Structure 1
Amino acid sequence: MNNSFIKKYLLRSLVLVTALLLNSCFDDGFEEFVPPSGNINNIQPNTLFTTSTSANNSLTIIFRSFSTDAVSYLWDFGDGNTSTEANPDYTYASGGLYTVELTTISSDGLEATATQQVSPVFLDFNFTTLDTQVTFNNLTTGASSLVWDFGDGNSVAWNSEEDDLDDPDFSPVYSYLTEDSVQVTLTVTNFLGVQSSVSQSITGLILSTVPNFTFTTSSLTVQFTDDSLLAVSHSWDFGDGNSSTEINPTHTYAAAGAYSVTLTTTNSAGVERDITIQVPVGGVPATFAAVIQNADMQTYPTSQNNNNDLVDAWTVDPDNSFNDGSPTPFNFWRNDPLEAWVSNPSNNGGSGTTDKASSSGTDAQSAGGTSGRSLKFDSSGERAYQPFEIEIGVEGYSISAFVKSETTPVGQVEGTFYILSDEPSGDDELGPITLASLPVVSDAINNWQQVSFSFNADAAFSFPQSRVDENTNDILVSTDQKFVIFYFVPTNTVTGSNEVFLTDIVITTP
């Protein structure tokens, strides 16, 4: 009896549950389950992108985003323009270095950013010819540096850190010595170190004269020597109202001064070319005294004898600042090409890979001098290098210095002094720009000797405006200032056991 009741109860319960389940399946209020989307765990999304330069336009950069869960994009191209495309191709108006930022928003409103530098460059040039003189018009924008290869073995370089767009090496004027066709190549390096080149052929050159001359002065009399190419006639304008048609004339001026002398030569086709050179005559009176900085090797800095600070004034590539963080007044004369040349053992005699000499207090000069320190050379790549301001036409600047080497035998050269009228890129270029030189011959082993020499300021160079603008605390204030370079090259036998020392340098202005 109990058994029968239980069975009936279970059967009724089963029917009731089934009915309830069937009824719920067809309930109009049921909401279908939808899986969550987007960043349900609030994880910060990532954004990144790649860049490439278009093959059709070097100013066009192709941007491709690889961002996660991005529903919106904002590109800032670094030049004031933007885009909301996912993968834009963007063309810059001019070359340069730009910082690009991509900002993405995820589906739950989270923001992610990425930045990257791009350096588009526009590379092209055109030219005009006149006989064998070619005037190049550089149309390039976005170049960090560039090199012109003129196709005849000669080239010139330009660097944005040192030169401006008005520098003649940006758009050079070049005279060929042949009528042969040549291929000129302009190679540009952008601000990210990537090189690109463009070449053009130059044909139809007609051989032209190339005027040039040298001179020597004696009081008011100047002997001119023609050094022109393909000249069949000469016309000299001496800058004082007088002239001559001689090949190598001698001219006596009425008064001392600096004269602009122009030589005009004509070739067999009757085409003229001219060149003008400043010629100082009769010893122009100096209006200021020339100064060599840190001549005693211990002037800078005043608060501490830090070795690097003490030698900065004599370095091919001076530091930007002293050891205490204050700016040095020397950095404007840095010469990167020369630094690279003298630091190469294959150029400097085989020892040392730095241009920078050091300061020595233990080998100080005492025999008649004043300094408590000296400049020490212990490898053959080290140099003493310093431009100083002079006046064109002043005759009879004199320089004295004390020099000592440890083991150089008596009668052999300890080093050579030079006064240079321009900035060299290597010791192999000193000849044409040397106003004076003096080999220092050892007169005793490990003993100080005083040497002296003089020079006339027949030529000089000026620094570009970009160097003038760098630092208001140095002596460089104008592109009108004229400089020559004091340069000392120690013997290439200098080593750690045969060190050469230099100090107590004195310059006298007449």
Structure 2
Amino acid sequence: MNYKKNKKFNSSIFALFFVFLGLVSCYDNGYEEFVPPTGNVNDIQPSTLFTTSTSADDTMSIVFRSYSTDAASYLWDFGDGTTSSEANPDYKYTNGGEYKVKLTTTSSDGLIAVDSATVAPVFVDFNFTSIDSKVTFENLTSGAKSLVWNFGDGETLTWDSEEDTELDSDFNPSHIYKTADIFEATLTVTNFLDAEVSVSKNIEGLVLSTVPDFTFDVNGLTVQFTDASLLATTHSWDFGDGTTSTEVSPLHTFPAEATYDVTLTTTNEAGVSKSETKAVPVGAVKPTFKAIVQNGTADDFQGVTGDNADAWDMTPGKTVVDDVAGEIDSPYRALWNNTALNAYIDGAFGTNEQPGSSSDGSYVNGEKTRAVKLSNDSRRLYQLVEVEAGVVYSFTIDTRSEAEGINTEVFILNNEITTEEDINTDPANNSNVDAYFDITNDFNSSKGSSSENTFTTTTFTFKATSNIVVIYARALKAVDSSNEVFIDNIDIITPGF
């Protein structure tokens, strides 16, 4: 009985086994194998992020590291016209400064993500030469926002890019040491992200001897000379007009208006003599106040950019819009308003227009500033400035044109004219004109690139013949937007201020 049951049970097991094999066989033949999807199947926007750090071995090299999701390709724009497709590049800049870096990544599904950051590579170094105890420093730095010279003898000197240029003496100073010791001179530079980098060098081999030096203060034909020499026991002055003096700091009256080469020779205790010669312009009146040019950088009243050029209109508006205070009385209306000249231009050219306002100005730290522009032969720059008769001033202006051969004429007038008829004939020798300059504007086909600053800076001097001057500029060939002229950074520099 038991034997039969067992035999029947085993037969059932074999039957089920064959049924199972049949089911498996049907499943495998009827369906494809499941493969998981790849890529961004839900169209979730990827993100990109990167970090920057300055290389420990080179302050001009920046280390970039990307932390991007689903990035299949990379495009780096280093802000200086150079790009890279590497995922994590190390990039060395040619010039120090402030650059905006942008990373664009593309995912495997073609989705784009962008991130940007500012970097400030900087190169810091200097050379120096010495004559006796006078050391002249050559600053090789690139990319400095500001810097400090520490000469190692307790004296320092500072330079700031917002107020100074690399042509200023504080960028490449000379320093006179009072002893022949060994000094450690240190140049500390702050970049545009406020990080400091320093370089120090030993100043040695100085020879202590007399170092002649002097300053001068001109008032008409009379000049006060002030001795600034080191280790001098005797002084000998040659004023360049046939007269001499052995005083330490003489007051001298010259016979006529001219520029004289004045020489100071000093002798030390050992009998060693050295000389220093400087050109001294004589005849100008010493100024008592600083001449003020209104909105010479074209950066005021940008809330309504038309007001930005109002300081250069011969009939300024009654009000302007301040970025903070809103509509206010124009600060220019009460200072000048030449309706007669405005009417003359209207009749001569069929229209009269104030200069335009433009965001296409000169560059400061790699960024464009605002400017004024002339884009019609009837447009003029006009501004009345209080000065002092007899003072010799310096005038500076930045210009750029949209096309070649478009010049800018700059007049420094000594009164408010009512027509242009007089100054059109021989303006350089006109009684109404204290100075005239015909500027060949800079033109460059790549002017739109952030790496190009194609403005020309023109500087000239003039002697004021009255107590006012009128800055008057025109560009008669700038007739439309294809050949307009951009003007920026207009200033009258007063000596001693």
Please name the residue that 2:276 is paired with: 274
Q: Hey, which bits of structure 1, 4+ residues long, moved more than 6 A?
A: 10-16, 214-223, 288-294, 322-325, 391-394, 465-469
Q: Which residue of 1 aligns with 2:197?
A: 196
Q: Which amino acid aligns with 2:193?
A: L
Deviation for aligned residue 1:251: 5.1
Cα offset, 1:253, TM superposition: 3.6
Name the SS of the counterpart of 1:18 in structure 2.
helix
The amino acid of 1:482's aligned partner reads: T
1:419-443 deviation line (CA, Å, top 9, x unaligned): xxxxxxxxxxxxxxxxxxxxxxxxx
Within 2, Cα distance between the matches of 1:466 and 1:19?
A: 93
Map 1:38-437 to 2 at 5 A: 38-213=39-214, 226-245=227-246, 247=248, 253-255=254-256, 259-267=260-268, 268=270, 270=272, 272-274=274-276, 276=278, 278=280, 280=282, 320-321=300-301, 326-327=307-308, 389-390=387-388
Unaligned runs of 5+ in 2: 1-11, 312-384, 393-455, 461-485
Deviation sequence 1:247-283 (CA, Å, 0-9, x none): 56675543456645332324337352415373746xx
Counting aligned pairs with the same residue, the percent is 50
1:476 deviation in Å? 2.0
Count the aligned residue pairs: 324
Cα deviations across residues 34-92 of structure 1 (Å, max 9, x unaligned)?
A: 11122111100000000001111111111100001112111111111111111111111
CA contact (8 A) 1:101 1:115 kept: yes
Q: Does 1:24 align with 2:26?
A: yes
Contact 2:221 2:282 in 1 (8 A): no
2 CA distance for matches of 1:110 and 1:170?
48
Partner Cα separation in structure 1 for residue 285 and residue 162 of structure 2: 36
Contact 2:222–2:282 at 8 Å: present in 1 too?
Answer: no
Structure 1 pair 217–103 and aligned structure 2 pair: CA distance change class (3 A): closer
Q: For residues 218 and 25 of structure 1, what CA distance do their matches in structure 2 show?
A: 110
1:214 to partner: Cα distance: 6.7
Q: 1:484 to 1:206 in 2, by over 3 A?
A: closer
Counterpart of 1:242, as a letter, is T
Taking structure 1 as reference, are residues 26 and 285 closer, same or farther at Cα in structure 2, changes over 3 Å only? closer
Query: Distance in 2 between the 1:49 and 1:225 partners?
Result: 59
Please give the per-residue CA displacement for 1:443-501, whole angstroms capped at 9, x wherever unaligned: xxxxxxxxxxxxxxxxxxxxxx98989x9689724xxx43455xxxxxxxxxxxxxxxx
Per the alignment, in what secondary structure is the counterpart of residue 72 of structure 2? strand
Change in Cα spacing, 1:291 to 1:132, as seen in structure 2 (3 Å) is closer
Q: Please give the alpha-carbon distance, in whole angstroms, between the structure 2 residues aligned to 1:130 and 1:177.
A: 13
- The corresponding residue for 2:34 is 33
The alignment's C-alpha RMSD in Å is 4.4
- The 1:93–1:22 alpha-carbon spacing in structure 2 relative to 1, beyond 3 Å, is same
* SS of residue in 1 equivalent to 2:165: coil
Against the structure 1 CA distance between its residues 289 and 32, is the aligned structure 2 distance closer, same or farther, given a 3 Å change threshold? Answer: same
Structure 1 gaps of 5+ residues are 1-9, 295-299, 301-311, 331-386, 395-464, 486-510
Helix, strand or coil: the match of 2:208?
coil
Work out the CA distance in 1 between the residues paired with 2:27 and 2:304.
84
Provide TM-score, normalisation by structure 2: 0.55
Match for residue 491 of structure 1? Answer: none
Question: What is the TM-score normalised by the length of structure 1?
Answer: 0.53
Residue 159 to residue 43, structure 1, CA distance change in 2 (3 Å): same
Please give the per-residue CA displacement for 1:305-336, whole angstroms capped at 9, x wherever unaligned. xxxxxxx99xxxx9944997635999xxxxxx
